[in-house]
Every structure is written in structure tokens, then in C-alpha cells.
């Protein structure tokens, strides 16, 4: 008989739902961020529907994380000025002597260290 996994309990289901939602939000945040970068690269104004969707995704992330973590600061900075946020945090840069592009670090909230990487608009 094959080994069995953990029992399916309400707590397991709640955790599974939280993790699955977290990954789904991350994937969509990454896609929307890429489309906003394409707007900037092409010299177009940022697409209003994408700006709205990114704000909605950050709101959903805040709810998914029980109003805790670095996503609160991300959302605050985004709501202050969405276009400035995109230009500051979603445009990869390649520092001297660097193996590849990175996004500018978001400020540390003390709850978690800032992330580095091309797709650092995540809340993992």
C-alpha cells in the first residue's frame, strides 16, 4: 500500500488554501508587472487597467496574509503613487560586477529581509 499523506483536517485545508492563494497571487503579480514593464519599454503610458489590477492584487495579498508582513508596506507605497512604484521597484537594474539584473530592494519592514531578484514584487 502506498504511504499516506497528512490527514485532511480543517486546519490542513485552511493552510493549503492560504498557500495556493499566495502562489496564485504571486504568478499574477509577476505577469502584471511584466506587462507594466513592457509599457515603459515601449514608451507608452502605463495601462490603467493593469495599474488597477496590481492594486487589487496587493489588496488581496494583504487579506491573504492577515494584514501582516512586508506586503503592507508594498501596498502603502503603491497606493501613494502607482507609477512611481512601478518605475522604482519593478524596473530591473544591473549593478556593476553583478551576475544579472535585480530589482531595487523594497524597504525592510523588520518582519522579513528585503528580497532581491528580477521578480521581487512578491510577498513570499
Is residue 89 within 8 Å of residue 120, measured between CB atoms? yes
Distance CA 58, CA 69 (A): 12
CB 92 within 8 A of CB 81: no
CA distances in angstroms from 121 to 20, 49, 53, 95, 97, listed in the order given: 17, 18, 14, 19, 23
For 27-74, the pLDDT digits (tens) are 999 899 889 989 988 999 999 999 999 999 999 999 999 998 888 888
Per-residue pLDDT, 113: 45
- Which residue ranges make up each domain of the chain? 8-124
| Alpha-carbon gap, residue 120 to 7, rounded angstroms | 34
Residue in the block written with cell 502607482: 82
Looking at 41-50, 88-97, 111-120, which range is the least confident one? 111-120
Collapsed DSSP state (helix, strand, coil) of residue 42: coil
Residue 117 confidence (pLDDT)? 47
Amino acid at each position: 500500500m502506498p504511504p499516506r499523506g497528512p490527514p485532511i483536517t480543517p486546519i490542513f485545508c485552511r493552510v493549503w488554501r492560504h498557500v495556493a492563494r499566495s502562489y496564485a497571487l504571486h504568478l499574477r503579480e509577476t505577469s502584471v508587472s511584466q506587462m507594466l514593464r513592457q509599457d515603459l519599454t515601449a514608451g507608452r503610458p502605463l495601462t490603467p487597467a493593469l495599474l488597477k489590477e496590481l492594486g487589487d492584487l496587493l489588496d488581496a495579498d494583504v487579506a491573504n496574509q492577515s494584514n501582516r508582513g512586508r506586503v503592507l508596506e508594498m501596498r502603502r507605497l503603491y497606493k501613494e503613487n502607482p507609477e512611481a512604484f512601478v518605475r522604482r521597484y519593478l524596473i530591473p537594474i544591473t549593478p556593476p560586477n553583478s551576475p544579472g539584473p535585480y530589482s531595487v530592494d523594497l524597504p525592510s519592514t523588520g518582519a522579513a529581509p528585503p528580497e532581491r531578484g528580477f521578480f521581487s514584487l512578491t510577498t513570499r
